[in-house]
């Protein structure tokens, strides 16, 4: 399992200093049957900062 998860989406409530993700788990889904590029996936862990 990954030790550090990096994220540049500073509008997410899980974004932490150093572009780290502070979520306890990460949920990524596919937007196609067999994704071949990162653009064909989505991070469902994202929650906007309030």
pLDDT tens-digit profile of 3-50?
A: 899 999 999 999 999 999 999 999 999 999 999 999 999 999 999 998
Q: What local confidence, expressed as pLDDT, does residue 2 receive? A: 80
Tokens of 34: 């067999």
Q: What is the pTM of this model?
A: 0.83
Task: Please check whether residue 8 is in contact with residue 19, taking contact to mean a CB–CB distance below 8 angstroms.
Answer: yes
Q: Which helix (H) or strand (E) holds 49?
A: none
Distance CA 46, CA 21 (A): 10
CA distances from residue 10 to 21, 37, 47 in whole angstroms, order as listed: 10, 22, 11
Q: What local confidence, expressed as pLDDT, does residue 47 receive? A: 97
Quick one: DSSP state of residue 17?
T
* Number of domains, the chain: 1
Tell me the residue range of the domain where 46 lies: 1-50
Q: What local confidence, expressed as pLDDT, does residue 19 receive? A: 97
Q: What local confidence, expressed as pLDDT, does residue 17 receive? A: 96
């Amino acid at each position: 399992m990954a030790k550090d998860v990096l994220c540049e989406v500073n509008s997410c409530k899980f974004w932490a200093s150093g572009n780290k993700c502070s979520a306890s788990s990460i949920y990524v889904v596919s937007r196609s049957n067999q994704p071949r590029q990162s653009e064909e996936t989505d991070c469902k862990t994202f929650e906007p900062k309030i």
